[in-house]
Amino acid sequence: MPDEAPKTNQDTACCSTVESIVTVDERGQMVLPKDLRKRANITAGDKLAVIGHVKDGAICCISLMKIEDFAPVVKGVMGPMLKDIIE
């Protein structure tokens, strides 16, 4: 079996695509299409972090991330800072 080529950033990098267009109703709610929920493994009751990306003082983009995927990111960023404060 030939050796596999090492993964590059391009192999593992996240890319952005327009998955769907949704409409916000008068109550501020929107529906994520079923096939998108299925592909993203989002089920009823899942909690999503809403992440705003700011440019020139205004939110220009919004991302959704499942809480269980977001928590390690926060711990990775905040952990070293908290360690310095606690010690």
Tell me which amino acid residue 34 is: K
Tell me which amino acid residue 7 is: K
Q: What pLDDT, on a 0 to 100 scale, did the predictor assign at position 86? A: 66
* Model confidence at 34: pLDDT above 80: yes
C-alpha angle 7-12-13 in degrees, rounded to nearest 5: 135
Q: What pLDDT, on a 0 to 100 scale, did the predictor assign at position 14? A: 76
Q: What pLDDT, on a 0 to 100 scale, did the predictor assign at position 3? A: 56
| Tokens 């929107």 found at | 30
pTM: 0.63
Element (DSSP H or E) covering residue 62:
strand 58-66
Looking at every residue in the chain, the average pLDDT score rounds to 83
* Model confidence at 5: pLDDT above 90: no
CATH number (3.40.50.2300, 2.10.260.10, 3.30.450.20, 1.10.3720.10) of 10-86 reads 2.10.260.10
